[in-house]
């Protein structure tokens, strides 16, 4: 069974988002997503300063088997991308909720986050 931490919000496309105390949010992909992808070989992330609407593609995660789009859970501006994943893309398989976070963003419409799935609702989709 894949892990679904209770303190995060989720999309049905298998991204997670964590709202931070400073008003930013951190985004990555779920344990279920990394397991389904298999060995991750490349993560293509956007540059700091770029903006995305909720549901828009912000990057790509690629495994031996396939390349998959990453969807922004919320409307947001990138304040940091996890460039460490360039050298260790396999961290996505090992620490999907930890060291393999993908982007940190500034929310454009904080109300959107409340509409995302909670852990119980996301677990029900798996």
Partner 1 sequence: MSETLARTPLYDLHAELGGRLVPFAGWEMPVQYTGIIEEHMAVRKTAGLFDVSHMGEARIRGRDAAAFLDRIMTNELSTLKPGAARYTLMCQPDGGCVDDLIVYRFSETEFLICLNASNAQKDLAWMRSLVGTAKVEVLDECAAWAQLAIQGPLAEQILALTTTLPLASIRRFGFLVGEVAGASGCVVSRTGYTGSAGFEIYLPAASATLVARALLAAGKPLGLIPAGLGARDSLRLEAGYPLYGHEISERISPIQAGLGWTVKFTKAQFVGREALRRQAEGGPPSSVVMFSLDDRRIARQGAIVFAGDTAVGEVLSGTLSPVLNKPIGTALVAAGFTGSSELTVDIRGTRLPLHISVEPFVK
CB of 43 to partner 1, least distance (A): 9
CB of 23 to partner 1, least distance (A): 32
Which parts of this chain interact with partner 1 (CB under 8 A)?
Answer: 38-39, 41-42, 44, 60, 62, 64-67, 86, 89, 93
Residue whose tokens read 């029900």: 124
Helices (H) and strands (E) in the chain, counts: 4, 9
Query: What is the phi/psi pair of residue 123, to 5°?
Result: -55, -35
CB of 59 to partner 1, least distance (A): 11
Give the residue with the Cβ less far from partner 1, 44 or 118: 44
Give the residue with the Cβ less far from partner 1, 9 or 32: 32
Give the residue with the Cβ less far from partner 1, 11 or 34: 34
As a whole number of angstroms, the distance between CA 14 and CA 12 comes to 5
Burial of 28 (0-12, 13-18, 19+ CB in 10 A): buried
């Amino acid at each position: 069974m894949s892990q679904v931490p209770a303190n995060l919000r989720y999309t049905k496309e298998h991204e997670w988002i964590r709202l931070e105390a400073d008003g930013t949010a951190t985004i990555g992909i779920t344990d279920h997503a990394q397991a389904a992808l298999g060995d991750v070989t490349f993560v293509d992330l956007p540059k700091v300063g770029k903006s995305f609407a909720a549901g828009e593609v912000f990057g790509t995660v690629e495994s031996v088997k396939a390349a998959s789009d990453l969807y922004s859970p919320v409307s947001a501006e990138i304040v940091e991308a996890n460039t460490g994943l360039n050298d260790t893309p396999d961290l996505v398989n090992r620490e999907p909720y930890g060291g393999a976070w993908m982007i940190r963003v500034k929310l454009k419409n904080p109300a959107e986050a409340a509409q995302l799935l909670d852990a119980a609702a996301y677990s029900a989709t798996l």
